[in-house]
Amino acid sequence: MSTSACNLLVLFGSQTGTAQDCAEKIVREAKRRHFSSRAVAMDLYNVANLLNEELVVFVCSTTGQGDPPDNMKTFWKFLLRKDLPATSLTNMKFAVLGLGDSSYQKYNVVAKRLQKRLEQLGACSILKLGLADDQHDLGIDAVMGPWLNDLWEVVLRLYPLPPGVEIIGSDVCPSPKYKVSILETVKLKDSENVKENFNEAKSVLQKNVKIGALCPFHARMFENKRVTSPDHFQDVRLIKLDISGSNLHYVPGDVAVVSPQNMPDTIQAFLSVTGLDPNTLFTLEQNDPDVPLLPNFPDPCTVQWLVTHYLDINSVPRRSFFELLKYHSQDELEKEKLEDFCSAQGQEELFSYCNRVKRTILEVLQDFSKTAANIPLEYLFDIIPPLQPRSFSIASSPKAHPNEIHLLMAVVNYKTKLHLPRRGVCSTWLASLDPNDPASTVPIWVKQGTIRFPTDPTVPLIMVGPGTGLAPFRSVIFDRCTAEHSAALVLFFGCRSQLKDFYCKEDFCTLTQSGPLKLFTAFSRDQENKVYVQQRILEQGDLIWKMIYLDNASIYIAGNAKSMPDDVRQALCDVLSSHGNMTTAEAAAYLQELERQKRYQVEAWS
């Protein structure tokens, strides 16, 4: 029971799990200081109770082009209500930690806006806004570590521990989130094929799976086609899913969310290094009143299901992984190295060992095999993060492709200094599925995307989609081409080579002949001088200016966030300057106004 005079609430907005991991770390550290503390996703928290909270730490990431994470959107919308009095949160003390990436235009903007809004509502900030940058040499830990040290110094000054009560030392292992009760070993046929084992285990558990709002539809894959030439370095797939009977609805610009699975080879390797029996059947129970049980988690569950569907064994471990792993090491050399990785002096070495080469949790456990074999089953839920769903812009049209969802997906596979290539969990799994196998189903649901196209088909569209940024434009172009009257559609597509990675070439060549589409391509490696989409935009400056100024066209950009969005924006500014007789400042202001009107939208990813 807490001896502190105050509860510490940690609210997080997390898209990929990093902010949640940080929030859970804060809770562990709060409990070492005898605070009653819990971490809650913002949208799962009853925001009306915020009026009564005395001390809150907010941890939030920024997604896309300055958007809040999915599990923060409802909370944020409520905070922005104009009818909230300026004295709403005068009882609350708070601190905000933002997690961002400075390569994006709107770096950490969600945290900045949250800090400002909380102050507008009367809350008292106890600490300078923390802005962690994933681009830093040491990642987000470079800012997060010192910020957390400052946080505890301020918090304990405001709420000192009672006399005789000491901070629980870092040498004491925290209690696990859950209790695990082993029931039995499920009797399955002996097989070296992990997938077969899983399918049989799944039938044992199916009746116990809790169906709810987060339960995805299992869509049958009926096409898995490579759309790059066999000799091209990158494997890109057009995947087609049958959603008949799902009651799933989407519009162009929406996003399909996929729950991935780990691959059989990595599952088997994990089971081998940890010594776990895949057929062990267990149930989860609450061990901490502040930590609810997992929603939609099978009860009972097999270790096979846990490793296949829940544990993110192929992710690059965060610092918290090592901080928790060290408690289970009884080997002197391994424990010494783990403790070194957790020290302030060992951060550069840890970053080189993990982040620079993208070493996975599985590979770390193989390096620390004696420790891996000593991890209790219940601690896996603390040490290893859950698999996160992956989002893909939908590349099909609900009108042209009824009862279907198409995904345009690059299979992630690249080399580092490590022997084995790095593989994307979701893309590798999807690419491995055989569309001729009736069991090839994909757990999927739909959410609103960053890009929102006008519902009026008479609004002209200018679209810039190099690489797989093409996906949302394939959706809206097919949709518009089914309409009776559609305004002009202009697409700028860029790739390396016309013969190697011109995705969906047949689709677009047909649509340019029979519909309102004009296509301008930039094949960067087909000639001595590289050509990119921004150069094609400059070449078509007169057309673009007339569409924007005379026809009120909307502009959409989708693709890699590294430099393309900035380069395209600059090209559009140059077009406005040269064809609209604007100064550089006027052109930039004109684009900002288009952005405010939602006539200029960007969807970018790293």
Q: Where are the beta strands (DSSP E) in 187-243?
A: 217-226, 236-242
* Residue 302 annotated as part of some ligand binding site: no
* Residue 106 annotated as part of some ligand binding site: yes
* Residue 280 annotated as part of some ligand binding site: no
Position with higher pLDDT, 35 vs 515: 35
pLDDT for 129: 97
Averaged pLDDT for residues 541-569 = 93
Give the C-alpha separation, 367 to 361, whole Å. Answer: 10
As a whole-number percent, the residues of the chain with pLDDT over 90 amount to: 81
CB atoms within 10 A of CB 359: 20
* Residue 253 annotated as part of some ligand binding site: no
* Residue 532 annotated as part of some ligand binding site: yes
Tell me phi and psi for residue 154, to 5 degrees: -70, -45
Position with higher pLDDT, 363 vs 16: 363
* Residue 107 annotated as part of some ligand binding site: yes
Give the C-alpha separation, 207 to 198, whole Å. Answer: 15
Q: pLDDT digits over 137-171, tens only?
A: 888 888 999 999 999 999 999 999 999 999 999 99
Tell me phi and psi for residue 510, to 5 degrees: -65, -45
Name the residue among 548, 561, 560, 546 with its Cα closest to residue 591.
Answer: 548
* Residue 156 annotated as part of some ligand binding site: no
Inter-residue contact 391 to 447 (CB < 8 Å) = yes
* Residue 545 annotated as part of some ligand binding site: no
* Residue 531 annotated as part of some ligand binding site: yes
pLDDT for 138: 81
Bridge pairing between strands 36-41 and 7-13? parallel
- Integer angstrom CA distances of residue 124 from 8, 52, 90, 121: 15, 14, 7, 9
* Residue 13 annotated as part of some ligand binding site: no
* Residue 468 annotated as part of some ligand binding site: yes
Amino acid residing at 432: S
Give the C-alpha separation, 103 to 105, whole Å. Answer: 7
* Residue 524 annotated as part of some ligand binding site: yes
* Residue 17 annotated as part of some ligand binding site: yes
* Residue 124 annotated as part of some ligand binding site: no
- Integer angstrom CA distances of residue 457 from 201, 514, 543: 49, 17, 19
Give the C-alpha separation, 219 to 564, whole Å. Answer: 33
Cα atoms in the Cβ-side hemisphere of radius 13 Å centred on 472: 31
Name the residue among 248, 226, 533 with its Cα closest to residue 408.
Answer: 226
For residue 1, name the pLDDT band (cuts at 50, 70, 90).
Answer: very low
Residue 606 has pLDDT above 80, yes or no: no
pLDDT for 563: 86
Residue 207 has pLDDT above 90, yes or no: no
Name the residue among 65, 13, 17 with its Cα closest to residue 425.
Answer: 17
Which residues on neighbouring strands pair with residue 242, listed in sequence order? 220, 404
pLDDT for 187: 57
Averaged pLDDT for residues 346-372 = 95
Q: pLDDT digits over 267-307, tens only?
A: 999 999 999 999 999 999 999 988 999 988 998 999 999 99
Amino acid residing at 405: I
Name the residue among 46, 148, 140, 47 with its Cα closest to residue 96.
Answer: 148
* Residue 286 annotated as part of some ligand binding site: no
Apex CA 319: angle with CA 314 and CA 324, to 5°? Answer: 90
* Residue 450 annotated as part of some ligand binding site: no
* Residue 343 annotated as part of some ligand binding site: no
* Residue 469 annotated as part of some ligand binding site: no
CB atoms within 10 A of CB 73: 16
For residue 186, name the pLDDT band (cuts at 50, 70, 90).
Answer: low
Q: pLDDT digits over 434-486, tens only?
A: 999 999 999 999 999 889 999 999 999 999 999 999 999 999 999 998 877 78
Residue 510 has pLDDT above 50, yes or no: yes
Averaged pLDDT for residues 318-338 = 96
* Residue 18 annotated as part of some ligand binding site: yes
* Residue 416 annotated as part of some ligand binding site: no
* Residue 371 annotated as part of some ligand binding site: no
Bridge pairing between strands 124-125 and 489-495? unpaired
- Integer angstrom CA distances of residue 52 from 9, 55, 90, 124, 542: 11, 9, 10, 14, 58
For residue 3, name the pLDDT band (cuts at 50, 70, 90).
Answer: very low
* Residue 500 annotated as part of some ligand binding site: no
Residue 189 has pLDDT above 70, yes or no: no
Name the residue among 279, 364, 604, 301 with its Cα closest to residue 469.
Answer: 604
pLDDT for 104: 75
* Residue 227 annotated as part of some ligand binding site: no
Give the C-alpha separation, 112 to 270, whole Å. Answer: 40
* Residue 391 annotated as part of some ligand binding site: yes
pLDDT for 191: 35
Amino acid residing at 408: L
Give the C-alpha separation, 560 to 567, whole Å. Answer: 11
Inter-residue contact 17 to 388 (CB < 8 Å) = yes
* Residue 134 annotated as part of some ligand binding site: yes
* Residue 102 annotated as part of some ligand binding site: yes
* Residue 4 annotated as part of some ligand binding site: no
* Residue 16 annotated as part of some ligand binding site: yes
* Residue 312 annotated as part of some ligand binding site: no
Q: Which helix (H) or strand (E) holds 526?
A: none
Q: What is the mean pLDDT of the chain?
A: 91
Residue 103 has pLDDT above 80, yes or no: no
- Integer angstrom CA distances of residue 92 from 60, 89, 125: 18, 5, 9
* Residue 63 annotated as part of some ligand binding site: yes
For residue 202, name the pLDDT band (cuts at 50, 70, 90).
Answer: very low
Q: What interhelical angle do 584-596 and 564-580 show, nearest 10?
A: 120
* Residue 185 annotated as part of some ligand binding site: no
Q: Where are the beta strands (DSSP E) in 277-394?
A: 280-286, 301-302, 390-393
Give the C-alpha separation, 481 to 579, whole Å. Answer: 30
Which SS3 state, helix, strand or coil, does residue 523 take?
A: strand
* Residue 301 annotated as part of some ligand binding site: no
* Residue 179 annotated as part of some ligand binding site: no
* Residue 113 annotated as part of some ligand binding site: no
Give the C-alpha separation, 152 to 174, whole Å. Answer: 18
Residue 514 has pLDDT above 50, yes or no: yes
* Residue 465 annotated as part of some ligand binding site: no
Residue 188 has pLDDT above 80, yes or no: no
* Residue 352 annotated as part of some ligand binding site: no
Position with higher pLDDT, 67 vs 26: 26
* Residue 425 annotated as part of some ligand binding site: yes
